[in-house]
Chains A and B, each alone.
Chain A
Amino acid sequence: MFAYIVKRLLAGFLVVTLISMMVYALFWYGPRSPAQELCRRESNNRCTPEKLERYEEALGYNNSVTSEYGKWAKGLVAGRDITVGASVIHCEAPCLGLSYRTRQPVFEEMKTRLPATISLAVGAASITLTIGVTVGVLAARRRGTFADKALVSTTLFMSSIPYYLFALLSMLYLTIVYDVFPQTGYTPLTDNPGAWFTGLLLPWLALGFYNSTSYTRFSRGAMVESLSEDYIRTARAKGLTSRVVVMRHALRAALVPVVTIFGIDFAFLLAGTIFTEKIFDIQGIGRWGLDATLIKDLPVVQATVLFGSIIIVVANIIVDIIYSILDPRVRLS
């Protein structure tokens, strides 16, 4: 088990390193220099070739990609000094560089944005899992009835609506047109728990409810399958109550595939929910990455991509470990 985890972590490290290299390569070999974007913005659309030259030099784009990537990687491990104009800023390890836009250390900003994304992801995922599995189990137990068919068609209808439209309409109708929910947004939990909760309530519900539709269908399918297994007949023949048969015997088996998918989905939520953060005005990782991509803010893009890839690699390992715990027949090696 331990050897397996070490092996997977090493492979994951390799994947993350390759991804970070690819981000650098994209910026270096892309059609337009990121310096041009910055120069244009900071000189009110009057970027002269001389100015551009200065920006390129300051951001290191006239150096080779390998030496700049090397500096970035060294900063990540040991920290580094970054020259901004006349002053030199010391960036502590893990140094992810300075944002082109704010000239502030990326890692510091990440620390302020992470709680917003984590709050959003945990809340939404809890709602997704609770609604999805509960409704799925209920539908499976009433398989073939009108209620079951109605539920399945509703979830299919729901998931055929594009998420951005669903989120946008729920924001529009539930906070602006009808005053059902308070204004959304993120307030740190430690500042004001009440505001934290009310500001995130609608985003949680919108994201959680929308994602739950696929979990409903998925857990219904897994449950229908496990309810028809021979060991369920055995459990009933033993004289167990139907609650124990369904919850302890059928659901336990049905949860294995659900957990597998949930692990990966949750990682994607943590890596940033772009639409949700944008529509509901939450300053999280996803929106930060989106804004940075639009203005070609390399250090921020690199940081969000790095974070996302680490989360997904780690989630995959955790899912495999949970899988081996849930199903004793699975051995990690």
Chain B
Amino acid sequence: MTVQHTMPGNAAAAGSGEPYLVVENLTVRFPTADGLVQAVTDLSYSVELGQTLGIVGESGSGKSVSSMAVLGLHDAKSSRIEGSIRLGGTEVVGLSEAKLRPLRGNAAAMIFQDALAALHPFYKVGSQLTEAYLAHHPQASKKDARRRAIEMLDRVGIPQPDRRVDDFPHQFSGGMRQRAMIAMGLINDPKLIIADEPTTALDVTVQAQILDLLQDLQREFNSAIIIITHDLGVIAEMADDVLVMYGGRAVEYGATKELLTHPEMPYTWGLLSSVPDVTADTGGRLIPIPGNPPSLLRPPKGCPFHPRCAHVDKVPANLCSTELPELLPGSRGADHLKRCHLADPDAIYRDQVLPEIAPDLVEES
């Protein structure tokens, strides 16, 4: 009953056998009055259909900036974007606004955090959904679009969707607003969904429902998902692959289970150390990462994490503060990349970090 439509560039992607989204050497910089902000530097990743990539990092690590570049949402006048982003075979970097528009919300859609601010307060939820549908189905009638909106609201689990479609966003609860946001993102059956902290500001039970919903929808539509979060719990539950970002760069990249069980980069250790665990032994300590995220205006020399890293002295010749480590495979195979000078990070993690944060795990192994 939904109108069939072809995805731009879809055929090309299928032909080349390339993942649906390929980001290569992406650099995003913003010229400001104080200088050039290096928001994202030399970032590469890819996501295949049916797969989920989790991007983790602190505020200002470039997570959102890089994903907004996928939809070309940065103002061309106030940003400088280099590298390559291929979405279903279409090169997005440098594409004109007129050619980007048919991709946005159609080939790839974004689900934003804080749906109360991200939905327009003056328009009914239904009309915001139909607007998204009609933007990519100009031949569809308003009635079709409304039916489609109700269908999507129903699909994301909003009770009495035929009545709630005429509500304003402020009449929805927080969880329902986020569901409506997801319904709006999925209304054009996008092959790629970018969820930017979709569960922030929701309570834990609603968080779980929203994540379940995203997974269900992914299974149903075989879409690729990028989930941006700073919550490693969300990553563990949702993602197939994880990309850890720090100071605008990828610092560790690999399969979720592999990366979370054998992290090889001190920043990732820090992230793991600061996750509270309700089932853990009360002896396990919650260790915050000292210091502040680096300035993107004047990034530190060498490894961007070195001013906050507890293991700098294990690397000879002050390498950490002079030379930027490459993103290279460590000892765990070619699919697990890390950006660190440490010679044997696995041993350090096993002997020094793990006993601090999860003593019970050490005894088991």
Contact = CB atoms under 8 A, between A and B. Distances in A.
Interface string B108-137: 011010100111111000000001100110
Contact of B121 (A237, A238, A327): A327
A230 to B, nearest CB: 4
A230 B112 contact: yes
A249 B120 contact: yes
B119 A234 contact: yes
A239 B112 contact: no
Given A241-B135, A253-B120, A329-B170, 9 more contacts: A233-B73, A235-B120, A237-B109, A238-B109, A238-B131, A239-B136, A240-B101, A241-B101, A249-B120
Contact of A237 (B104, B117, B120): B104
A31 interface: no
B105 interface: yes
Contacts of B120: 231, 234-235, 249, 252-253
Nearest to A145: B77
A233 B181 CA distance: 13
A111 to B, nearest CB: 41
Interface string A299-333: 00000000000000000000000000011110000
A328 B71 CA distance: 31
Contacts of A235: 120
25 contacts: A229-B117, A230-B112, A230-B114, A230-B117, A231-B118, A231-B119, A234-B110, A234-B118, A237-B73, A237-B110, A237-B112, A238-B104, A238-B131, A238-B135, A238-B184, A239-B103, A239-B135, A240-B135, A241-B135, A253-B121, A326-B122, A327-B121, A327-B122, A328-B122, A329-B121
Contacts of B73: 233, 236-237
A33 interface: no
For chain A, which range describes its interface: under 10, 10 to 19, 20 to 34, or 35 or more residues?
Answer: 20 to 34
A234 B122 contact: no
A230 B197 CA distance: 14
Nearest to B102: A239
B112 A329 contact: no
A235 B122 CA distance: 13
Contacts of B131: 238, 240
Contacts of A230: 112, 114, 117-118
A242 interface: yes
A234 B71 CA distance: 11
B168 interface: yes
A231 B121 contact: yes
Given A238-B105, A239-B102, A252 B112 contact: no
A50 B233 CA distance: 99
A248 B97 CA distance: 18
A231 B117 CA distance: 6
A86 to B, nearest CB: 66
B106 interface: yes
Contacts of A327: 121-122
Contacts of B101: 239-241
Q: Which 8 A-B pairs have the closest CB atoms?
A: A239-B104, A239-B105, A230-B117, A238-B105, A238-B132, A231-B120, A237-B110, A230-B118
A257 B40 CA distance: 38
A229 B119 CA distance: 10
Contacts of B103: 239
B71 A253 contact: no
Contacts of B136: 239
B319 to A, nearest CB: 41
